[in-house]
Amino acid sequence: MPDSSPVPAWRARSVAETTIHSSPALTVEAAAFVDAQVAAVAGRVGPAQLDRLVAEAIQRYDLADADPSADPEDGWQHVDPRHATLHSEDVHYAGTMRFEAELDIADALDLDRALAHGAATMKALGSDASLDVRRSAALGDLARTQTALDLATNEGGRVAREERAGVSRPDLPHAREVVLHAHFNASDSLLDATGRLEEGQRLVLLDQVEDWCTDTHTRVTIRPVIDLNAELSSPAYEPTTRIREAVILRDRTCVFPWCTRPARACDLDHVVPFEAGGPTSTSNLAPLCRTHHRLKTHSSWRYKTTAPGTYDWTSPHGHRFRRDPTGTRAIDTGPPPDIPRPRRR
């Protein structure tokens, strides 16, 4: 949703400095890509989001190797920012300390789920503390749980010995599940060096994926390769599992202008209604979150498919927008109207 409120000067300066001082330097096309993505949330974008957008622009426009004079060891891909730091010198009067960490994406998501589960368990057991307090306590519980496991195995118990020896333990629960969808680009290079994490829509390096998969506590599932350019269809109203998966992987999010709701949590909408002869096929299906699905069904918002994964929307006031894999942009000269946003869950 575009941010119509005034943008503070310090935030605009932060966006400008991030793009101007990028290393390697952004081309005009790469800077335009970042600007187009930032424009919708200019008043709320944070430094972490800016860094991710710049990194994606560098990868998208192949700028990492564009400067032959640059030292590859100083490149952005070679900086490992991971750390876990206890600020023990800064003790709050309430008896707390600050613990700061920069984690691998998969580790951060695993930790977030563990803290959410721990906080929910405390609430179910009767805790009336705030969510932040319960998540903090859950992090402490994780540390004490690991200590208890170490004591139980006596650092030389059967479980510890088998894990050190690399013995597979199918009876133990998996701490992480990685589901891989392999895609091959019709380009000169056989494989790109990057992938995309479906949760959060972030770019990841294939080296990271390899590390996740080689962890002994990870269950790896490789899905059949789906050609996203192939036309899949069904005579029924409900799409098949294969059609649904192809549409989700192609569009990634709700295709309403500026909506970022993940496609896996969306309805699949017939662009041309099924009752009007629209087929149940990948070329006539698009993911819409429940809010925007109802908006399209019960209001004057209309859209059509102009290419696979590209949609032209027309608002009730005649404003036109194009939604494609690069984002959303206006395709008329009128001022953009207020874009309805989905309700927060």
Q: Say if CB 324 and CB 334 are below 8 A apart.
A: no
Neighbours of 270 (CB within 10 A): 18
Return the pLDDT at 268: 93
Number of domains the chain contains: 4
- Is the separation of the CB atoms in 286 and 323 below 8 Å? no
Residue 74 lies in a domain: no
pLDDT at position 8: 76
What pLDDT was estimated at residue 75? 46
Same domain, 160 and 180: no
| N-to-C CA span, the chain | 17
Cβ partners under 8 Å of residue 289, min gap 6: 254, 256, 259, 261, 265, 266, 267, 342
The whole domain housing 130 covers 83-164
The dihedrals phi and psi of 338, each to the nearest 5 degrees, come to -70, 125
> Rounded CA gap, 315 and 338, in Å?
10
Specify if 191 maps to a domain: yes
Tell me whether residue 72 is in a domain: no
Do 309 and 260 fall within a single domain?
Answer: yes
Domain CATH number, residue 250: 1.10.30
Q: Taking each helix axis as running N to C, give the angle between helix 47-60 and helix 9-20, from 0 to 180 degrees, rounded to the nearest 10.
A: 30
Mean pLDDT per 10-residue segment, the chain (345 residues): 64 80 81 80 73 80 60 50 78 76 84 88 89 89 64 47 51 62 55 62 68 70 74 90 89 90 90 91 93 90 91 90 88 60 59
Residue 282 lies in a domain: yes
281, 323: one domain: yes
Query: Is 295 in the same domain as 322?
Result: yes
Q: pLDDT at position 73, please?
A: 45
pLDDT at res. 194: 61
Cβ-proximal residues to 68 (8 Å cutoff; 6+ apart), any chain: none
The answer to whether the pTM exceeds 0.85 is no
Say yes or no: 105 and 25 in one domain. Answer: no
Domain membership flag for residue 157: yes
**Are residue 16 and residue 57 in the same domain, yes or no?**
yes
Same domain, 181 and 263: no
How high is the pLDDT of residue 158?
Answer: 47
End-of-domain residue from the set 142, 164, 186: 164
Residue 24 token pair: 């390697």
